[in-house]
A = this chain, B = another copy of it.
């Protein structure tokens, strides 16, 4: 009943992999075509050609299974565009992420992940966001830009973004996004005030 997450099972052999794939696909199929309210383990098992007990033993319950499927989806969307500046990259990525997460399947995926009792999964989400911020930051530094630390980006960008996704249903204006980004970059510039004589400004903070 515990936390048999999935991929890193002790024995991820052929059949196990096949079952996992079949079950995941069954979930996705039923989520697409079907009713959002009803979605049972026996139903998924039948479509996947698997016994319910298999699902229960591997995932524990429906919530964990749904969270697992949603997390897998979340991992795909990592392809930040290069707009030539950190501010632009952040804006572009946030807008794209926002659009994805306010869509019906996106919102449901987020809910499914939050509904899971396994907080290791939430950690993964955080790490995923951190990785993206890291990528954008390093790209900026390579350009010679000043860039806030990943921690600052998380606190000033990802955090409010996520907060709004979770706690309001209203849309977020790109204007608001721009404000957060400005704040993030301003905080960075404040920490390294542009001294008149300095040749360059290494982007370190924290």
Report the bound CA distance from A187 to B189 in whole Å.
Answer: 13
With beta carbons under 8 angstroms apart, the residue of B119, B122, B126, B183 that contacts A187 is: B183
Scoring A117, A156, A167 by chain B CB atoms within 10 A of each residue's CB, the highest score goes to A167
Closest to A170 in B: B123
Q: 1/0 per position for A103-126, CB-CB distance to B under 8 A?
A: 000000001001101010011011
A169 touches B119 (CB 8 A): yes
A163 touches B168 (CB 8 A): no
Give chain B residues whose Cβ lies under 8 Å from the Cβ of A183: 156, 183, 187
Give chain B residues whose Cβ lies under 8 Å from the Cβ of A117: 111, 115
Report the bound CA distance from A172 to B101 in whole Å.
Answer: 27
Q: 1/0 per position for A146-168, CB-CB distance to B under 8 A?
A: 00000000111011101110111
Could you list 16 further interchain pairs (A-B, Cβ under 8 angstroms) beyond the known A126-B168, A162-B167? A63-B115, A111-B117, A115-B115, A122-B167, A123-B167, A125-B167, A154-B160, A154-B163, A155-B160, A158-B163, A159-B159, A159-B162, A159-B164, A162-B163, A183-B187, A186-B187
Report the bound CA distance from A199 to B160 in whole Å.
Answer: 34
Min C-beta distance of A180 to chain B, whole Å: 7
